[in-house]
Amino acid sequence: MCEPGAGEQITLRIRRKEGCEDLPLPCYMSDGASGMDLHAAVCEDLTLQPGQARLVPTGLHIALPPGWEAQVRPRSGLALKNAVTVLNSPGTVDSDYRAEVGVILVNLGKEPFVVNRGMRVAQMVIARVCRPRVVEVERLDETERNLGGFGSTGLH
């Protein structure tokens, strides 16, 4: 099910790292999926001890058009079942980045977690990037919330 969904069509160019030809390319696993699965390109099993974070290679180099980014996000199943998540979630891959895409996984659980070659470790969402014109002003318009800060809208 690696078909593009509805919406604006762009091209994601991918180059596999040498030795990673056995790993699947990222693809959508259902018609409604927002993210493509990323697979671990580890040469041997990688054990994450409780509380440990490690960079997991994907074996992929990507190129996106300007104005787009790839967001590396956790897989909900890994988070729920194993308390393993993406540490800098979402990680950002800029359109001018050409090094190997990596996933910073952290084990927040109480047991060691083993990452195997080809394991689906994260998902990648392609998103538009808006680069606004930055303007410094003397004052901002007031709102109902105004300077209430974090949690000021209540606990509901």
Residue 2 domain-assigned?
A: no
How many domains is the chain built from?
1
> Is residue 7 scored above 80 in pLDDT?
no
Residue 42 domain-assigned?
A: yes
Residue 139 domain-assigned?
A: no
Q: How does the average pLDDT of the chain come out, rounded?
A: 92
Q: DSSP letter string over 66-114? A: TTEEEEEE--HHHHHHH-EEETTSSEEE-TT--S--EEEEEE-SSS-EE
Length of the chain counted residue by residue: 156
Residue 68 φ/ψ, nearest 5 degrees: -130, 155
Residue 110's domain comprises 13-128
Mean pLDDT across the stretch 141-154?
75
> Is residue 143 scored above 90 in pLDDT?
no
Which amino acid appears at position 110 of this protein? K
